[in-house]
Amino acid sequence: MDPVIEELFLGLAHALFVNRLHVLRLTEVVRLGIKPDPHDQNMEVPKDIDGELIQQAFAYVARHFPPTFGGKLESAKARWIRLA
C-alpha cells in the first residue's frame, strides 16, 4: 500500500479510536456519577475501568478495518494509548 494512503487510514483509525474512547468515558462518568475533581475540574474514570474502555475502543476500530490492516493497527496501539 502507498505510504501516504496507509498514513491516511491510520489517521482515520486513530480518530475513530479517540472518538469511541471519549463516548465510552462519558458514558461511564454519567453511569458512575463521577463529579469534577476540586483541584483541576477533571472527571476521571477509575484506572481499572479506563483500561477496559481503551480495549473496547481499540476493538471497535479493529472491527471496522480489514483484517489485513490489523498489524498496522497493533503497531499504532501503544502510541494511541499513551496519547489517550
pTM of the full structure: 0.88
Question: What local confidence, expressed as pLDDT, does residue 80 receive?
Answer: 93
- The domain spans of the chain are 3-83
Question: What local confidence, expressed as pLDDT, does residue 64 receive?
Answer: 94
11-39 pLDDT per residue, tens: 999 999 999 999 999 999 999 999 999 99
52-69 pLDDT per residue, tens: 999 999 999 999 999 989
1: pLDDT strictly greater than 90? no
Q: What is the DSSP string of 9-47?
A: HHHHHHHHHHHHHHHHHHHHHHHHTPPPPTTT---PPPH
